[in-house]
Amino acid sequence: EQLKHTLCNYIPSPDNILGRDQSNLQGKVIIPALRRPVKNDFHGIIFPRMNYLIQQLLIGTAIASLGLCLFWAYRCRRDIARVGQEAGPKTFYLLAAFFCLAVLARLFLSTPKHLLFNDEFYHMIAAKNLALFNQFGYFVKAPGWSLLLAGMFALFGVHNYTAIGATLFLGALTVLSVFFLVFLILKERRIALLSALVFVLMPDHVFWSTTAETNVASLFFVTCAAVFMLLYYRQPTQELLWLCLMSITFSAHIRPENYFLFLLFILGAKSMAKSRPRLTGAPWLAAALLNLPFLFYASAYNRQYFVGQAPPPFLSFLQSFPRIFDSSLYPWIFILLFITGFIYGRRRYAASH
């Protein structure tokens, strides 16, 4: 009954996520302090039933993809450090200043809040259940994000502000990944620094960095995956291939639409890499095995959730694609900057390679 009351009331303030029921809680544990994970009975009506095996598979694939990503990042540390050496030692002082500025901007120019109340609640309650009971509980939308939040809850306590702080930290870190992404494409230190500085104060990113939603964390891991992809294009080694595939896999466990990065990686390898990657072998097999459980779960969720309410996700995408040039979604200047930057970046990359 407490969950039904919570899910049926939109209360955006982190301090009032449970509304009237907050007075019944002890201390500052704002997320429901359940003694055991919530059963499937209530959400089984709307969402796909989540048995114990699927839960363990999702937890295992999220942990494995993150662990393998960190492992191969360590193995490729020399390739990553080489990019830092190319940028120059003084660059790191500026990036450190940009990072601090990004943190301050998100602390003082925005306020902690919950914009997508139901979605953020799902992420946090799944993370709380994972941290305390070693399973997601009744439902999970993003196993990768809930895994990261569970680690933060274990370190800093179960609280809404812990989740928002994790988002803020990853949002500030994205400044660094944006710099290296632009630097690898254009080979221009000043333009890369300017891009990072612009990103520091990007209004939408500052605004969403003080929520518990997945879009900020997703952008960080997407830009990191793009950096690793460019490193692989420059020097296609087996270690960098592992790193690319595992980083894409974990970013997809945060938001499933990030699976498009696999297609982007293959297309980029065919046009930019010195040697085309084989779509077989241990790295691709590992990526397939780690992605199958979440792909199955996400497809089951979409089939059940969208029945009678909306067309299938792919058809919905085709129907909404013409609105990509709709200025009500985002300013026209974004489209012009994208086209200009793509053409300029493509020419610079071709000239330097």
Give the model confidence (pLDDT) of 234-264 as tens digits: 888 899 999 999 999 999 999 988 998 998 8
Closest CA relative to residue 246, chosen from 100, 90, 62:
62
Q: Give the separation between CA 279 and CA 202, rounded to whole angstroms.
A: 38
Q: What's the mean pLDDT when you consider all of the chain?
A: 78
Q: Give the separation between CA 95 and CA 196, rounded to whole angstroms.
A: 8
Out of 27-31, 207-211, 266-270, 319-323, pick the least confident.
Answer: 27-31
Mean pLDDT value of segment 42-54: 51
Identify which has the larger pLDDT, 338 or 149.
149
Identify which has the larger pLDDT, 141 or 196.
196
In sequence order, the 6+-apart residues with CB closer than 8 A to the CB of 229 are 244, 261, 264, 265, 268
Check residue 289 and give its pLDDT: 93
Give the position of tokens 């499933």.
Answer: 256
Check residue 34 and give its pLDDT: 38
pTM, 2 dp: 0.77
Identify which has the larger pLDDT, 349 or 17.
349
Give the model confidence (pLDDT) of 112-170 as tens digits: 888 877 788 888 988 988 888 888 876 678 899 999 999 999 999 888 899 999 999 99
Mean pLDDT value of segment 264-273: 80
Most confident segment among 9-23, 63-77, 262-276, 310-324: 63-77
Identify which has the larger pLDDT, 29 or 250.
250
Check residue 275 and give its pLDDT: 67
pLDDT > 50? residue 41 = no
Give the model confidence (pLDDT) of 276-306 as tens digits: 767 778 999 999 999 988 888 777 665 554 4
Check residue 62 and give its pLDDT: 93
Check residue 346 and give its pLDDT: 73
Identify which has the larger pLDDT, 64 or 26.
64
Task: Give the pLDDT band (50/70/90) at residue 217.
Answer: very high
Q: Give the separation between CA 123 and CA 114, rounded to whole angstroms.
A: 12
- Measured over the CA atoms of residue 15, residue 17, residue 22 and residue 25, the dihedral's sign is negative
pLDDT > 90? residue 104 = yes
Give the position of tokens 């997601």.
Answer: 136
Give the CA dihedral 8, 208, 165, 43, nearest 10 degrees. Answer: 30
Q: Which spans in the chain are helix H?
A: 2-7, 52-75, 77-87, 89-108, 117-133, 143-156, 160-186, 189-200, 203-208, 215-234, 238-254, 260-272, 282-305, 313-320, 332-352
